[in-house]
Amino acid sequence: MSKYTHRLGAALLLAALQGAPIAVLAQTVSPFAECARIGADRERLACYDRAAGRTTDPTLAPSPSPASGPKAVAAATAAPTASLIDAAWEFDPASSPYVVRLYEPNYFLLARYSDRVNTAPLSSVGQVPIPQEQVDNTEAKFQISLKARLWTTDDRRWGAWFAYTQQSYWQLYSDAISRPFRETNYRPELFMSYRPGLEYGGFHWRLLNFGFTHESNGRSGVLSRGWNRLFAEFGVERDNLVLTARAWYRIKESADEEDNPDITDYYGYGSLRATYKWGGQSLSLMGRGNLSTGKGAVEATWMSDKLLGPLRAYVQVFSGYGESLIDYNWNQTTIGAGVAVNDAF
């Protein structure tokens, strides 16, 4: 009996020893099986790490996916926009040192209507008016304006520029007088530009120009108009709004060369302009004048987004003195519509 008892005890002990690894293995497999039932990838991976005795490094956790929906749209809307001044004046250090760019708006008004046509231009030097041939109230008007950088520093903050702007008034619909050009103004400029890079009250001062400008209509006799100026121009921006101010000093000429000595009575000594851009469109408002004489002018323009290639719809409204040099002392209100290629910013 004792012999069989010992044999039975040994058998039970052997079975227990053989079953122990199985029990341990069962306990080891069980947590992994539980992990396999987890559907979410991130939680399932963390479960496997815990089961294996591994600590998860929080720095290796996957970054959250980009926000979507209304919050993402709001964030994108609130993101700062690129500088309009920097783009217009090539202040980026990576830009080419020598560039040719569009300057002021380049446009063609298919029809420009004036409520008061100047049929007898008169200057203030004692000349009698010379009546022009009968002109229509409606004509075409266009402007070509380019600028070229001649020199710049390596960081592009300083630059020397030459600019040329030509504005023409064309009696396109006056068949009886052979559709002449009623007036053309030529304005070359030579100036330095600088990017101050200062900020105050949310406005960024990014433009300072100073130099020389000549403007004339290329005519002779009593119809000759022209003047020379030294000028300084300041430009600040905030988001999609650009404000520019230009002040000038007229260089006086000798009495026998003077065509329009009183031109500053109508043009004043400076101008202000605001340009606002949204959704590819732009709105511009300009004002200038002489406070002592109470004479000046305002201009408003609207430009659409691109419609056909680079072409945009363009509307221009002007009221006051001096839309052109021949009309420097003539008060009128005009409105025109056509197409444009660019605005100033």
Is 315 contained in some domain? Answer: yes
- What is residue 119's predicted lDDT score, i.e. its pLDDT? 87
CATH number, domain containing residue 183: 2.40.230.10
Please tell me the total count of domains within the chain: 2
Across the chain, mean pLDDT equals 86
Residue 159, number of CB atoms within 10 A of its CB? 22
Q: Are residues 9 and 122 in the same domain?
A: no
> What's the pLDDT band for 258 if we cut at 50, 70, 90?
confident
pLDDT tens digits for range 193-211: 999 999 999 999 999 999 9
Q: Is the same domain home to 279 and 312?
A: yes
Whether residue 17 lies inside any domain: the answer is yes
* Residue 34 banded pLDDT, cuts 50, 70, 90: low
Stretch among 36-45, 231-240, 267-276 having the lowest mean pLDDT: 36-45
In sequence order, the β-bridge partners of residue 285 are: 274, 300
pLDDT grade for 88, boundaries at 50, 70 and 90 = very high
Same domain, 40 and 130: no
**Active site amino acids:** 214, 216
| pLDDT of 255 above 70 | yes
Sign of CA dihedral 102, 107, 108, 113: negative
Domain shared by 306 and 258, yes or no: yes
Residue of higher predicted confidence among 127 and 247: 247
Is residue 141 domain-shared with residue 53, that is, in the same domain?
A: no
Q: Which of 22, 42, 59 is the last residue of a domain?
A: 59
Question: What pTM value is reported for the model?
Answer: 0.76
Q: What is the pLDDT of residues 221-245, one digit of tens each?
A: 889 999 999 999 999 999 999 999 9
Residue 76, domain member (yes or no):
no
Q: Span 85-108, mean pLDDT? A: 98
CA distance 158 to 124: 41
Residue 70 belongs to some domain of the structure: no
Whether residues 32 and 137 fall in one domain: no
Q: Band of the pLDDT at 6, cuts 50, 70, 90?
A: very low
Q: Are both 39 and 111 inside the same structural domain?
A: no
Q: Find, among 190, 217, 165, 209, the residue nearest to 322 by Cα.
A: 217
**Average confidence (pLDDT) over 253-279:** 94
Roughly how many angstroms between the first and final C-alpha of the chain, as a whole number? 111
Confidence of residue 42 (pLDDT cuts 50, 70, 90): confident
Query: Which of residues 25, 59, 93 is at a domain's end?
Result: 59
> Average pLDDT in the 274-293 region?
98
CB 244 within 8 A of CB 207: yes
Residues 262 and 140 in one domain: yes
Domain encompassing residue 208: 84-342
Q: Considering the domain boundaries, does residue 67 fall inside one?
A: no
Residue 178's closest CA among 142, 136, 210? 136
Tell me what pLDDT residue 328 has.
97
Same-domain status, 282 and 226? yes
Same domain, 13 and 98: no
Domain assignment of residue 337, yes or no: yes
166 and 303 co-located in one domain: yes
- pLDDT at res. 194: 99
pLDDT of residue 55: 59
pLDDT at 104: 98
